[in-house]
Homo-oligomer: A and B are copies of this chain.
Amino acid sequence: MLQPGLMMDRPLLISDVIEHGAAQFGDVEVVSRETHGPLFRYTYAQCAARARKLANALKHLGLEAGSAVGSIAWNNHRHLEAYYAVSGSGMVMHTCNPRLHPQQLIYIINHAEDSVILFDSTFAALVKGVAPHCPKVKAWVCMSDAANMPAVISATQGVDNVLCYEDLIAPQSEQFNWPQFDERTGAALCYTSGTTGNPKGVLYSHRAIVLSAMAGCMPGSISLSPKDTVLPVVPMFHINAWCIPYAAPMGGAKLVLPGPRLDGASLYELIETEKVTVSAGVPTIWLALLHHVEQHGLRFSTMRRTGVGGSAMPAALIAKFADEYDVEVRHGWGMTETTATATIGCLATKHMNLTPAEQHAVIAKQGKSVFGVEIKVMDENGTTLPRDGVSQGELMVRGQWILTGYYKGETSPLVDGWFPTGDIATIDASGVMQIRDRAKDVIKTGGEWISSIDLENVAVGHPAVAMAAVIGVKHPKWDERPLLFIVRKPGQTVEREEILAFLTERVAKWWVPDDVIFLDALPVGGTGKVQKADLRKQYGGVFS
């Protein structure tokens, strides 16, 4: 007969994370770019104390366990305090993506039933627009001190109940007894910015967040230790900033929050002045950073590692980071539905004797599932495909921090207990996963599949190309054929024939796009990803 172990039965709670930071890394710094410009700095001990003050303030506003608190905010120290105060109190931290269309923002605030919204002064005008449509929000708290409150909002201008964060927490006690409850309780809520239909909410549990943060600390993942200083550029409104705000105090790393300044120059300055050793963000951020660094002939003094996800990192960028700047890319994969990282790659002992180019090819894949997550690929008939690195199918995930269903959703998205990701992938014999395409972006031509991502990666390898996107366009004979969009680098004049010749040398003949369209910019959505749906709408006619 099974017998219980004789171990203490304590829930994994988010309040434990910040209290661990306060108790064991109380003197380690958090540095935060204020929205109005200057750097703010304090310690995990002080962060915990202010999180407790905020928890008291929320209670004082009449909120209780189970209430939802929204945020429309940059990565900064007040947002960090809210992460801990809200979830630690048994409330739900709902991080809103300010890049959503206002109608979507109204939808998610009402759908989540947010009682309070914390917002950065940057978004005052946005709040002014949405507030009248969110009748259940009791208070709109501007994450600012009194001196820097935005003028655009006040009761006389149509938004009731605007409060100032610093004034709100000032009178509160630094003591707060974090409630103890089931670790499976909802802690945070994030909506997918789906391109069709309303956004769908994913309700993360304390357990899921704590476990994925532990996994994120591991040396084969982002790797966070007391020797590290970590800069999450990935937004705190985007999948919990891949749980780095939780992982940093767990691992004892100094935390640097960039606020609203995400341009290459600002990030570079922050990396150098704060001695950042590891960063994390989407490829477009790193493109801009490297552009700045190259343009000014700069070096990274301390940064040695960067976590990349959100979309595939082009091999050329991996090579540039590694070969020219001695920065190791940790290329991962995850989505709103997976809390944080589901897979990530890093070089292993067996790769040490490979050439740099061979090593970059390893890193260009999305790596292995971290402990706590299982992966497989499945064909359209529900058959699990072999791990041969060739068989393409839909990536299925299962594990400790994978969703079971959407918030207030009526139907389960799971297939036999696994979450179908909508991504097309391969897995090789050593367990390395590679995203080949989004299921909806893959180009089906003559009964075969062309990966739009693979084509884009080859195209951006051309020295005159800044960005590339490929969509499938209906074709009377082949079903679909690829159409390539190119954004040239500044001052470059490359034309259609040269691009097609470049591709012809590098891909199968039937992969070569039927046409090339040059644009000044690609349409980019709320999370920084290229919106292929927009390209399809405008250009997706029929090839003749």
Contacts and interface: CB of A to CB of B under 8 A. Distances in A.
A68 to B, nearest CB: 10
| Residue of A26, A181, A224, A400 most packed against chain B (CB within 10 A) | A400
A469 to B, nearest CB: 32
A431 B220 contact: no
Nearest to A210: B371
Interface in A414-436: 417, 419, 429-431
B7 A184 contact: yes
Nearest to A225: B219
Contacts of A10: 398-400
A24 B346 CA distance: 12
Contact of A7 (B2, B226, B403): B403
Contact of A429 (B27, B368, B406): B27
A385 to B, nearest CB: 14
A6 B405 contact: yes
A5 B207 contact: yes
A387 to B, nearest CB: 8
B220 A218 contact: no
A71 interface: no
A411 to B, nearest CB: 13
Contact of A403 (B6, B25, B65, B218): B6
Interface in A19-36: 20, 23-28
A348 B227 contact: yes
| Residue of A65, A224, A250, A429 most packed against chain B (CB within 10 A) | A250
> For the complex formed by this chain, how many copies does it contain in all?
2
Contacts of A1: 65-66
A16 B225 CA distance: 26
A226 B214 CA distance: 17
A182 interface: yes
Q: Interface extent on A, as a size class?
A: 35 or more
A18 to B, nearest CB: 11
B208 A219 contact: no
Given A12-B400, A226-B348, A227-B346, A185 B218 contact: no
Contact of A3 (B66, B218, B402): B66
Given A4-B182, A346-B226, A23 B374 contact: yes
Interface string A260-277: 000000000000000100
A225 B220 contact: yes
11 contacts: A2-B181, A2-B186, A3-B203, A7-B205, A9-B404, A24-B368, A25-B430, A26-B429, A27-B429, A217-B218, A219-B228
Interface of A: 1-10, 12, 16-17, 20, 23-28, 65-66, 90, 92, 181-182, 184-187, 202-208, 211, 214-215, 217-220, 223-229, 250-252, 254, 275, 339, 346-350, 352, 368-369, 371, 374, 398-407, 417, 419, 429-431
Query: Which 6 pairs between the two chains have the least Cβ-Cβ distance?
Result: A5-B205, A226-B348, A219-B225, A24-B431, A5-B186, A7-B208
Given A8-B404, A9-B404, 12 more contacts: A4-B186, A5-B203, A5-B208, A6-B203, A6-B403, A6-B407, A7-B205, A25-B368, A26-B429, A217-B220, A219-B251, A229-B349
